[in-house]
Structure 1
């Protein structure tokens, strides 16, 4: 059975709604590129079991699917309550404590005592994932006294944040490292680091993975306001970036989120970092079989902005229509991709920052030739994922087929916009490699008789010390 292939990559969060093998199979065939496992929820052992099941299904279908492990990070949460929820009102006094108490209308406990140590008078604190607003009025050893600025309902286990604070306790927690150990054993392809504040948070995870012999890409989740103080370095040291709009919308003004999204996407495009746009993209489809018009527009605009991938969260994890939601997103993406030719290019050679200008110039020339000859496909034999990132950034009208012999390179290219990765056993000499490009494209069904293809080889491909561009017509 042939997997649906899309240029804009789609990440689906795996949860109770889609863990059955039959549903996972439908999602793979529908076009799921990467499966996300959110280690903030569920038991580690259950995640590992589902990862193994998913890998087995994908192998039988001969369909590439990446595995993304999303680490919990130092999420601050409200403790247990005396009722299902409590309601507090503007102007009332309210306390936060590290003591293990059952929360009431006068105060609640928090799961991380280090967070309270960071707070000081006049700090703003948000409860219930940003819906309730407090200001700190006094502090003692185990309790923070606050005044309620915006009242509302509070639920147990909901998030707590202080946007203006750079937290001194580690972003990468001991539990994160425990999760990572299982992720390494399961050979996950991508690791997402939550609540990144500084570049060192990413480097900590990279160092751990290197020590364990893992080739997993490390993705920085941008969801804290303070991350923008070090945003360029964070993007530079990361292998990819996620615009996590949920917590970002709590930490910043809601009206700022669209522009922060565009800013992050633009910065990633310029230096060739894959970028994921996430959170509430099709949230109405958690319960409804059709999206809202606003959600459709949101998805299209993210693609036009230059996002490489889109992510579904609750929609597939706990929603009623996981497969249909994925298909709706892919349909919107396909239509938008077809319309991209009417919009200005998201990135050009002169805009981008790259050390090897020859590679960038060669990639731009290849895209130009493909456009002028109406080539169906650009084919790139490579054992280095960096050599393909330039082409992806340029958003060619042609599909990009990347042929490699290295599994870790193969999986990483799954996340790049417009790239269809193909795994082969080995490359031979240059002439036979060029000929094999034609065979691979035909066997994948991406080009047929009389279609033109452009083959590109650059010196950073890890195969041949040559820069070659060749146009061939499928016989």
Structure 2
């Protein structure tokens, strides 16, 4: 907020941390400790909870962030057309070779599932995966509103578990009626952006963007068809999430690591943020420490160049939410602090706009000169994003008077958001920049910095100047 002295990390973490709220974070003290431990972005999962509960969570996060003088973004994760089993009471134990029947929820004569369109789309011989792939069926024949299946991998099937059709092109709309209601609610609430589940095409993203206007949309990549349409999806989405749960079920767990690297690379090439999610520290739902494999998983996502890593049930319903965030921060700090640390290098296309040209020049300056940081005046966040994609060795400080831009910058790799009132002349910009950086302990007298700004042009997002400046 205007006039506030905002806190910055003594050692600025470049990869951001996303935490999901839930019953484990319902206490105000837990939430305060969560933010203090290093959370940059908070996720409200609209698959659970009520509008009243989400409104209270949003208010609590923003109030606590203000108290701690931090910028914390809050986004709503829309459910999408997730197919689940119906109410199975105590569940069913299924053995390999058993014959089972799937029917639309509410129908008799089989296991109910929450979608009717799939009964037309699914073909004989195609697989059905349930409960995150722990159970597997094969469709052996079809009848009206029935799929008769053979159990390939058995186990106990419980109520409301996920159902996936990995080989089927489903005629599903990514935006359900519930999602529309949640989106309008979130807009009124003031959410910083949304995540859209089960995106298959660019049109899915555009449907939500027509509702959201300037509020950002993160496309969750969960289905194989989304990989086929990735270029189009990235061209319209404001970022993506590597949603490894359903993606692993639908594409095969063994393919997820390579897909993750591809998604991160393609997002960076387009200066779009990317969140890596699902089971990153899963064992910490119950245990106070993670497995070695989980630590390596988080570390490799950081090395891949992800913008952010996300905690789901670990903070929403786990027994050790604070420890999970602290562990995530420790892993990131250890990787980024290593003398050999470098994210995957990329070859970017030549600049085609003033903003891209200024970003290229700033990166060149810090490569060849002893520059402490890059300060960016930006009313849209575009210049900060263009700089972030290079993963420069020094922080990018985004200065803006727009609070919604400040919040969204909390998701960008290596970007430190700071409020700065709108200014009109280069001299005012330089002086205000220097004062803010000194007040926040980001620089000392004698430090060299690079400042990018725009003036004497029409409209926002028109950066056209790079200045090298010595703090004095």
Taking structure 2 as the reference length, the TM-score comes to 0.93
Q: 1:80 to 1:466 in 2, by over 3 A?
A: closer
* Alignment partner, residue 270 of structure 2: 271
Match of 1:472 among 465, 469, 472: 469
Cα shift at 1:345: 5.3
* Alignment partner, residue 73 of structure 2: 66
* Alignment partner, residue 449 of structure 1: 445
Which whole-Å CA distance do the structure 1 matches of 2:449 and 2:417 have between them? 16
Cα shift at 1:144: 1.4
Which whole-Å CA distance do the structure 2 matches of 1:155 and 1:454 have between them? 57
Q: 1:352-391 residue pairs with structure 2 within 5 A?
A: 352=349, 355-356=352-353, 358-391=354-387
* Alignment partner, residue 17 of structure 1: 24
* More off after superposition, 240-249 vs 293-302: 293-302
Q: 1:394 to 1:461 in 2, by over 3 A?
A: farther
| Structure 2, gaps ≥5 residues long | 1-5
* Alignment partner, residue 50 of structure 1: 57
Deviations 1:194-231 (A, max 9, x none): 01111111000001112xxxx32100000111211211
* Alignment partner, residue 3 of structure 2: none
CA-atom RMSD in angstroms: 2.1
1:190 matched to 2:193: yes
Cα shift at 1:336: 1.6
Cα shift at 1:425: 2.5
Q: 1:58-457 residue pairs with structure 2 within 5 A?
A: 58-83=65-90, 85-100=91-106, 107-210=110-213, 215-339=214-338, 342-343=341-342, 346-348=345-347, 351-352=348-349, 355-356=352-353, 358-457=354-453
1:39 matched to 2:46: yes
Q: 1:251 to 1:18 in 2, by over 3 A?
A: same
Cα shift at 1:371: 3.3
Q: 1:82 to 1:289 in 2, by over 3 A?
A: closer
Instruction: Say if 1:193 and 1:220, in contact at 8 Å, map to a contact too.
Output: yes
Which whole-Å CA distance do the structure 2 matches of 1:140 and 1:120 have between them? 11
Which whole-Å CA distance do the structure 2 matches of 1:463 and 1:54 have between them? 29
Cα shift at 1:61: 2.6
Instruction: Say if 1:99 and 1:142, in contact at 8 Å, map to a contact too.
Output: no
Which whole-Å CA distance do the structure 1 matches of 2:117 and 2:134 have between them? 23
Which whole-Å CA distance do the structure 2 matches of 1:332 and 1:150 have between them? 36
Which runs of 4 or more aligned residues in structure 1 lie more than 3 Å from their structure 2 counterparts after TM superposition? 1-5, 339-345, 352-355, 458-467
Which whole-Å CA distance do the structure 1 matches of 2:31 and 2:251 have between them? 36
SS at match of 2:217: strand
* More off after superposition, 112-121 vs 417-426: 112-121
Q: 1:99 to 1:308 in 2, by over 3 A?
A: closer
| Structure 1, gaps ≥5 residues long | none
Matched positions, count? 464
Cα shift at 1:384: 2.2
